[in-house]
A and B are shown apart, each in its own frame.
Chain A
């Protein structure tokens, strides 16, 4: 087991993975309960466009992914508030539009080879030290923001109208949630990849919801499932030579299926 820690990329992968494992369900619980799960998927495709821009311009793709994701998240929320188009349609336009941007950029660069593949499906071997720092700093900021606005996020999620009447600035909280989601999605790219991020944000939360506990206990259970899935996924993918992102998601789906079975009983 210890030979794992002889490899620098494994340590970096585990460090970054642990931070992602902590923030994904923290954001996920609010997205799932507000029926916003699709936002994670949309923002992950926007992030792919960001990655493609980064690779094309030779800038760290994690940084361009974060910028693209955060800017689009604000645009999506503004479009939703303006009610000029349905919220879901806004998501679908951003999802397909950013995928189109990504594909065009990739074809312009005649493909990016293995680099792009690792961003699509996640690969800890490509996580650089600078990525660990970025994920660490921004990850801690996301956690701090959720703790600072926890009570407002909870109230707006449970009953937005009543929260507004009680004096909570609901528009600010809504934009905060979507921007934090954008950061989380972009930060998770090196570990689980663009195509599997929403799974990590959604599945541990949905699993914890099966157990029908209080809000805080649900978050705690989702965190435990997420951290367990990420750590065991990284370790298993190392020994069995499997895709990291895919292994993490399959482990969390396995736990979800077990929870469904017990819930039926």
Chain B
């Protein structure tokens, strides 16, 4: 497991709370994510993993506390091309008429901005992103002709196309077989190490986080643990959770 230099904070949550109704889903969560971190967020179903991710992406607004992205309050943050997002999705809508290249090119749209057409540079970056995930040969294929694992690679490529500094992934391997999962996590490891890309992964697979991530966050309404995965696994706290069946979804 690599050591990460923790001097450069890119995401900071300070006492964040969130609720849809009167019951709090996220309570008093504070954490810092640094450049180059590979963060795995685990926790029971309904514990608030995806909600926490959506708060960090600005898709939900906290009821209390504040969130900073790259040192800027999230409501004032404009540089969204620094952020890549691979949403939770285990299939692509049948009949959606989009080729692999068209799908990945969308990753550049936000960066290009309103009233600007895509350029030659956008095309180059799109193809480069496809190459990074080893899907260049499939660029003219329909997205719904691909297997679940291949589709996930395309969504990673779409996130990579805007040349982000951090990529958020929400349960990316749901509905994907074990062999494909291993290849998928090998790709994430490569992106984290080779491109120094920060990754924030929400998953229910604790073993993946234990082997792959540099940081582990365990959330069950409150952030009950945040730190090295090994410490979490060694600790009495972890065994207590397993005993309660608290980790399994």
> Please, which residues of chain A bring their CB within 8 A of the CB of B142?
212-214
Confirm or deny: B98 has a beta carbon within 8 angstroms of a beta carbon on chain A: yes
Instruction: Please indicate the chain A residues that have their CB under 8 angstroms from the CB of B107 in the complex.
Output: 166
Give residues of chain A (112-171) contacting chain B, Cβ–Cβ below 8 Å.
148-149, 151-152, 154-155, 158-159, 161-169
Given contacts A166-B85, A167-B80, contact A154 B96 (CB under 8 A): no
A166: which of B99, B109, B114 is its contact (CB, 8 Å)? B109
Known: A33-B96, A167-B78. A162 touches B112 (CB 8 A): no
Interface size bracket, B side? 20 to 34
Residue pair B97, A165 in contact (C-beta under 8 Å) = no
What are the interface flags for B152-189 relative to A under an 8 Å C-beta threshold, 1 for contact and 0 otherwise?
A: 00000010001000001000000000000000000000
Please tell me if the beta carbons of A162 and B80 are within 8 angstroms of each other in the complex: no
Q: How far in angstroms is the closest Cβ of chain B from A28?
A: 13
Given A165-B59, A165-B80, A215-B97, also A158-B114 (CB < 8 A): no
If the complex has contacts A166-B85, A214-B102, are A155 and B59 also in contact, measured as CB distance less than 8 A? Answer: no
Chain B residues contacting A212 (CB-CB under 8 Å) are: 95, 97, 142
Which of A158, A164, A169 contacts B106 (CB under 8 A)?
A158
Rounded to whole Å, the gap between the CB of B237 and the closest CB of chain A is 33
A168 to B118, CA, bound (A): 15
A196 within 8 A of B: no
Question: Dominant SS at the A interface?
Answer: helix
For residue B111, which residues in chain A have a CB less than 8 angstroms away from its CB? 166-167
Choose among A151, A162, A214, A218 the residue that contacts B158 (Cβ–Cβ < 8 A): A162
Q: Which listed residue, B58, B103, B115, B117, touches A165 by the CB 8 Å rule?
A: B58
Residues of B within 8 A of A169 (CB): 114
Kindly state whether residue B203 has any CB partner on chain A within 8 Å.
no
Is B83 engaged at the interface, CB distance under 8 Å to the other chain? yes
| Separation of A213 and B143 alpha carbons in the complex (Å) | 10
Interface residues of A (CB under 8 A from B): 33, 148-149, 151-152, 154-155, 158-159, 161-169, 208-209, 212-218
Q: List 21 A-B contacts (CB under 8 A).
A: A33-B96, A151-B106, A151-B109, A154-B102, A154-B109, A155-B106, A155-B110, A158-B98, A158-B106, A159-B87, A161-B59, A162-B106, A165-B58, A165-B85, A167-B81, A208-B97, A212-B95, A212-B97, A214-B97, A214-B102, A216-B102
